A = this chain, B = another copy of it.
Amino acid sequence: MWYQEIGPKQDVVLSTRIRLARNVSGIPFSPKMTAEDANTLWEKAVSASERMGGYLTAQKLSDLSPIARQVLVEDHLLSRELLKKPLSCGLLLSSDKRVSVMVNEEDHLRIQAVVAGFDPAGALDLANRVDDALEEALPFAFDPEWGYLTACPTNMGTGLRVSIMVHLPGLTRMRQMQQLTQSLTKIGLTVRGIYGEGTEASGAIYQISNQITLGVTEAEILEKVTSAMNQVIKLEHTATRELKEQYEETLSDSVYRAFGILRYARKLSSEEFMKLYSEVRFGMNLGILPIEDTPELRALWVTVQPAHLMQEQELSPDARDHARAQAVRTVLEVL
């Protein structure tokens, strides 16, 4: 899984995600679709994906248990919107879970690729390969002047969205996030919480993505996001350095307390976990907390989400808080 791996600029950038919005000519767009249209779309998409020789596995949403669906949402492979779809829909998923295609979300196809760290070109390359393979089998709705046609005009043109998941404890603590958000908005980027539109930033984790897909080339979008991200990384490093210089003792106390609570607590809510985990990673990156980063530690912010904890059995919220604390202890005890 991408969240266990290490990528470029991993201290600030958790992941780079590319999304391509595509629609199939001859099938009505999502808002006007019948049940029959949805079945046709699903079958065509699955059949097209089979051309990639088993690279993608089809998972129809209706075949998945509620917990399994939620696990995919927490893995950032499935959108919350797709869960609400009454018609045929589902996922085409690569075995390494780096590439997925949501079928019949807002658009017919949403091709996604996610890699660890900051690597838009790498992620785009993965997405393009699937895009090309599917396009050979399916006639995509494309206009020479407007580019790819999409259900919502904001996605038209390239249909490309680059989303960068970042951890910005320095800027958050220095209360510079509002200002940063405003600056990024001005140049056409949006800043959102951890699970996309309308969700809160939890544990100083944010998603930064391009808002405009039309009238610009893929290369221009990548260039804009890259130059903005280099700036964000620089700002985070500056904020962190200042914090360390001015408040090292307070910071050190706060980081070690977070580690102490995570290491011993018997109950942890999701919200408290994110706060403490963010603090521990911050301390680790600052060199204050002498622990080693491991795949298990890196993955923790996803693996202790509610559905991940319930893969073996349904749990009450209280039992989940216990299971979360236990899972965290298991990872931290070996460090």
The reply on A266 being an interface residue by CB < 8 A is yes
Query: Given the complex, which residues of B lie within 8 Å of A322, measured CB to CB?
Result: 249
If A256-B265, A257-B265 are given as contacts, then 19 extra A-B residue pairs at C-beta distance below 8 Å, sorted by A number, are A249-B266, A249-B267, A249-B322, A250-B267, A252-B266, A253-B266, A253-B267, A256-B266, A257-B260, A257-B261, A259-B260, A259-B264, A260-B260, A260-B261, A260-B262, A260-B263, A260-B264, A261-B261, A263-B264
Please give the number of chain A residues whose Cβ is less than 8 angstroms from any Cβ of chain B in the complex. 17
Find chain B residues with CB under 8 A from A262 CB. Answer: 260
A98-113: CB near B (< 8 Å → 1, else 0) gives 0000000000000000
The minimal Cβ–Cβ distance linking A248 to chain B, given in whole angstroms, is 10
Minimal beta-carbon separation of A257 from chain B (angstroms): 5
Determine the residue in chain B with the shortest Cβ distance to A319.
B249
A130–chain B nearest beta-carbon distance, Å:
46
26 A-B residue pairings within 8 Å (CB atoms): A249-B266, A249-B267, A249-B322, A250-B267, A252-B266, A253-B265, A253-B266, A253-B267, A253-B325, A256-B264, A256-B265, A256-B266, A257-B260, A257-B261, A257-B264, A257-B265, A259-B260, A259-B264, A260-B260, A260-B261, A260-B262, A260-B263, A260-B264, A260-B265, A261-B261, A263-B264
In Å, the complex CA distance between A263 and B262 comes to 12
A221-261 vs B: 1/0 string, CB under 8 Å? 00000000000000000000000000001101100110111
Measured CB to CB, the nearest residue on chain B to A259 is: B264
Sorted nearest first, the 7 A-B pairs with minimum C-beta distance are: A260-B264, A260-B260, A253-B266, A256-B264, A253-B267, A252-B266, A260-B261
